[in-house]
């Protein structure tokens, strides 16, 4: 992509220049669709990550960082959109999602999948070992049970010398014994039955995490 092709529309550039003059650790750009929020967000990101920004703080359009963003491969940029939109706009999906869709195991999702956030997903196993409820707080109870069942599956797999399927091996804590893992697996099947209609979602999450923590910290 040439620098000209990547040049933002004049109204986006004006907004970008205005926002770059301000400071903030996070920006929330919202409004009716079609105003160009994504283009503006991308312009801000290009400027923040640029190796030699212009005087007004705008991205140079020529450095390695600008180029990596233009070809959608910047290691420090995480774009989170529904998979259908990622594919339409030519952004790469996580490897596993790409493979599942290519192998026709499932269709691209029209919603943002919880697993699509590799920041959030990878942290779940070790957070559970610490008993950290916040790692599941963005999930509905049924999704939380599903995530824990996947974690339990992977630890059981590791325990018997197989490869984990849902998490990276590096993100998993040391697997506990087969006994605790099997009991946990059975308990999660029970939890899954009521997860769609929990008596109290907050209490359910807390109890799920307490159970996960106990299992992950048992050594026999
Ligand atoms: Zn640059």
| Mean confidence (pLDDT) of the chain | 87
Q: Please give the Cα distance from 34 to 12 (Å, whole number).
A: 12
What pLDDT shows up at residue 137? 82
CB atoms within 10 A of CB 182: 14
For residue 64, how far is its CA from the centre of ligand 1 (angstroms)?
7
- Among candidate residues 128, 147, 151, the one with its CA nearest the CA of residue 206: 128
For residue 58, how far is its CA from the centre of ligand 1 (angstroms)?
8
For residue 47, how far is its CA from the centre of ligand 1 (angstroms)?
7
Reply yes or no on whether the pLDDT at 2 is more than 50: no
Instruction: Please identify every residue whose CB atom is under 5 Å from ligand 1, which is an ion.
Output: 50, 59-60, 63, 66
What pLDDT shows up at residue 220? 62
What pLDDT shows up at residue 3? 43
Residue 179 buriedness (CB in 10 A; 0-12 / 13-18 / 19+): exposed
Q: Please give the Cα distance from 39 to 43 (Å, whole number).
A: 6
What stretch of H or E contains 187?
helix 178-194
Q: Please give the Cα distance from 198 to 194 (Å, whole number).
A: 6
Class of domain 1-77: alpha beta
What is the rounded average pLDDT of the residues 39-66? 92
CATH 3.40.50.300, the chain: domain bounds: 1-77
């Amino acid at each position: 992509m040439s620098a000209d092709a990547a040049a933002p529309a004049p109204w986006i550039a004006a907004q970008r220049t205005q926002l770059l003059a301000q400071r903030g650790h996070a920006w929330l750009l919202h409004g009716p669709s079609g105003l160009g929020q994504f283009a503006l967000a991308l312009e801000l990101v290009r400027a923040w990550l640029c190796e030699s920004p212009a005087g007004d703080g705008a991205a140079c359009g020529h450095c390695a960082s600008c180029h990596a963003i233009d070809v959608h491969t910047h290691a420090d940029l995480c774009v989170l959109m529904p998979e259908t939109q990622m594919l339409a706009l030519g952004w790469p999906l996580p490897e596993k999602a790409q493979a599942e869709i290519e192998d026709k195991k499932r269709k691209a999702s029209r919603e943002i999948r919880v697993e699509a956030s590799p920041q959030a997903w990878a942290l779940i196993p070790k957070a559970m070992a610490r008993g950290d409820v916040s790692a599941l707080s963005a999930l509905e109870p049924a999704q939380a049970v599903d995530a824990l069942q996947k974690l339990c599956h992977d630890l059981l797999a590791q325990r018997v010398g197989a490869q984990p399927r849902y998490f990276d091996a590096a993100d998993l804590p040391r697997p506990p014994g087969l006994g605790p893992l099997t009991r946990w697996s059975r308990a999660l099947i029970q939890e899954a039955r009521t997860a769609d209609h929990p008596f109290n979602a907050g209490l359910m999450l807390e109890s799920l995490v307490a159970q996960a923590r106990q299992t992950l910290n048992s050594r026999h």
